[in-house]
Amino acid sequence: MSWPRNTPEPEVTPEQRVEWQQRFGESDRALGFEISKDFKPFAQINDMFTRAFWDPAIKSADSDGFFASYRMGSEPRRGQGFSQKDFALRNASWVISDIISNRGNDTGMREGFQSWIAEDTPVAPTQVEVPDAAAQTAEIKRIAKMFGADLVGVTEVDERWHYSSRVDTRDLTQADNTLPAGITHVIVMAHAMDFDLVETYPSALAGASTGREYSHEAAIVIQVATYIRNLGYQAVASMNDTALVIPYAIKAGLGEYGRNQMVLTPEFGPRVRFSKIFTSLPLVNDQPKPLGMTTYCHSCTKCADACPPKALPKGPPEYGADSPSTIKGVKKWSANCEKCFGYWAKLKTDCAICMRVCPFNRTYDSWSDRVWRKLATGRGRKLAQWWENRNGSRERLKPADWWAKP
Ligand code: SF4
Ligand code: SF4
């Protein structure tokens, strides 16, 4: 079923609001989620990457060139990190993800981005018994890590964060986004991006850190979902599609929300991509605890200061709803996505300067990184900020220096 792209998101009924309050009120309070009566689930047709195909306010020669550059040998631009070789590496990093997402071109299901990943294996007719959901949870986390996930958490299905409709990419209409029946849990996985590549943002070279993880996660979600279906349980593999992954990653205890609009994880800071699996496998939800990173953001503006088009806010979280691409009724730091994407389009590659400069973007291999984290997330926050500022701004690694590494 599909409907026109300009159909507004459906209103939330008073009954739905009461039900959500009963089911999620307590966990929202624990997580610090503030949701107003204006809240509506988000329609994916309004996300910036989809608007770039139909909204005249966004679609331009620059945005068309941005997408085209991922599919062909891109014209080099002036500046280090934008040579044909840099674009070549970035495009190679994306190719596995592209192969998966292009499988559904004929059905309008751009898998992993505007549709969940189609099942490659049927659900086995007999179910493996799960006498102990806690043991099953530990086991599925081990399996996900064996396939390559860096962090794994489990949470309940929370349909507030599911897109009210997905996008039929054949004609850019809205299409039904209902998951199969019986899904109860979401397994959220984080995939760490390469530290040195991220240090070269902004550059086409740095885009290889993003593409590499999308290609990794495409393989990992398919493998984990196939394992679960072979056990006789439903499992739907998902990347950026189907639901907003940020609230799910926070609910699964993987991190906290940052001013740069990313989830800050204790292990990698914001340097991660997320994927998810919707499943009926009996599991036990993780119980997130305060991590102290959002608190740090309240007295830091490094990401906003470094953003070239000044797309990030410097003030406190707000119920921002000026842009169709911002979810309504959620109090949070929201970027001006039009300015952000406009900058990407001009660069012809993604920008993540706000990830690179974040003080939590560290490897945590050294004792000093770990001491800094301890201070930054606790009572030593001011000392951690002084320490960070004393070291000056985080300079970009020159792409030529990345290529010259042994
Ligand atoms: S990705 Fe780049 S343009 Fe967008 S908010 Fe971050 S720093 Fe700004
Ligand atoms: S740079 Fe500072 S304000 Fe921005 S996300 Fe990182 S810690 Fe938070």
- Planar angle of CA 162, 97, 116, nearest 5 degrees: 25
For a substitution probing ligand 2, which of 262, 268, 291, 297 has the most ligand atoms within 8 Å of its CB? 297
Quick one: which ligand is closest to 372's CA? 2
Provide mean pLDDT across the span 366-381: 97
| Band (404; pLDDT cuts 50, 70, 90) | very high
Task: Give the ligand at the shortest distance from the Cα of 354.
Answer: 1
Q: Which residue's CA lies nearest to atom 6 of ligand 1?
A: 354
Atom 2 of ligand 2: nearest residue by CA position? 300
pLDDT confidence band for 76 (50 / 70 / 90): confident
Is the CB of 311 within 6 Å of ligand 1? Answer: yes
Any ligand 2 atom below 6 A from CB of 303 = yes
In the predicted model, what is the mean pLDDT of residues 203-229? 98
Residues ≥6 apart with Cβ < 8 Å to 335? 261, 311, 312, 313
Ligand 1 pocket mutation, candidates 343, 350, 357, 393, criterion most atoms within 8 A of CB: 343
Contact between residue 238 and residue 278 where contact means Cβ atoms under 8 Å apart: yes
**304 ligand 1 Cβ < 6 A:** no
Q: Using a CB cutoff of 8 Å and minimum separation of 24, what contacts does 374-377 make? A: 376/292, 376/293, 376/296, 377/266, 377/291, 377/292, 377/293, 377/295, 377/296
Ligand with an atom nearest the CA of residue 255? 2
* Nearest-angstrom CA–CA distance, 237 and 276: 6
Kindly state if the Cβ of 354 falls inside 6 Å of ligand 1: yes
Question: Ligand 1: does its nearest atom lie under 6 Å from the Cβ of 45?
Answer: no
Peptide bond into 359 cis (omega under 30): no
Contact 63, 48 (CB under 8 A): no
Q: Quick one: DSSP state of residue 244? A: -
Q: What is the pLDDT of residues 376-395, one digit of tens each?
A: 999 999 999 999 999 877 88
Q: How many residues does the chain have?
A: 406
Q: 35, 28 in Cβ contact below 8 A? A: yes
DSSP states of 16-45: HHHHHHHHHHHHHHHHT--B-TT--PPBGG
What is the spatial distance between Cα 295 and Cα 256, in angstroms, rounded to a whole number?
9
Largest CA distance in the chain: 62
CA-proximal residue: ligand 2, atom 1 (nearest):
358
Contacts of 127-135 with CB under 8 Å at 24 or more apart are: 127/231, 127/232, 127/233, 128/231, 128/232, 130/281, 130/282, 133/282, 133/283, 133/284, 134/284
Give the distance (Å) from ligand 2 centre to CA of residue 334: 13
Q: Which atom of ligand 2 is nearest to the CA of 294?
A: 8
Q: What pLDDT is attached to residue 392?
A: 73
- For position 74, what pLDDT does the model report? 65
State mean pLDDT over 320-343.
93
**393/91 Cα distance (integer angstroms):** 30
Q: Residues 28-44: pLDDT tens digits?
A: 999 989 999 999 999 99
H or E element at residue 105: none
Residue 257 scores a pLDDT above 90? yes
Q: What is the pLDDT of residue 77?
A: 78
Determine if ligand 2 sits within 6 Å of the CB of residue 302. yes
337 lines ligand 1 (CB under 6 A): no
SS3 320: coil
pTM for this predicted structure: 0.97
Does residue 35 line the site of ligand 2, with CB under 6 A?
no
CB of 244 within 6 A of ligand 2: the answer is: no
* Residue 136 token pair: 């099953």
| Mean local confidence (pLDDT), 170-197 | 97
* Residue 288, pLDDT score: 94
Q: One-letter amino acid identity for 298? A: H
C-alpha 105/C-alpha 392 separation (Å) is 48
Is 260 close to ligand 2, i.e. is its CB under 6 Å away?
Answer: yes
Residue located via tokens 């990457």: 49
Pair type for strands 235-238 and 185-192: unpaired
- Is the minimum distance from the CB of 345 to ligand 1 under 6 angstroms? no
Check residue 321 and give its pLDDT: 67
> pLDDT, tens digit, for every residue of 265-300?
999 999 999 999 999 999 999 999 999 999 999 999
Tell me if 234 sits within 8 A of 157, measured CB to CB: no
Residue % of the chain over a pLDDT of 90: 92
How far lies 276's CA from each of 45, 280, 283, in Å?
20, 13, 14
- CB 198 less than 6 A from any atom of ligand 1: no
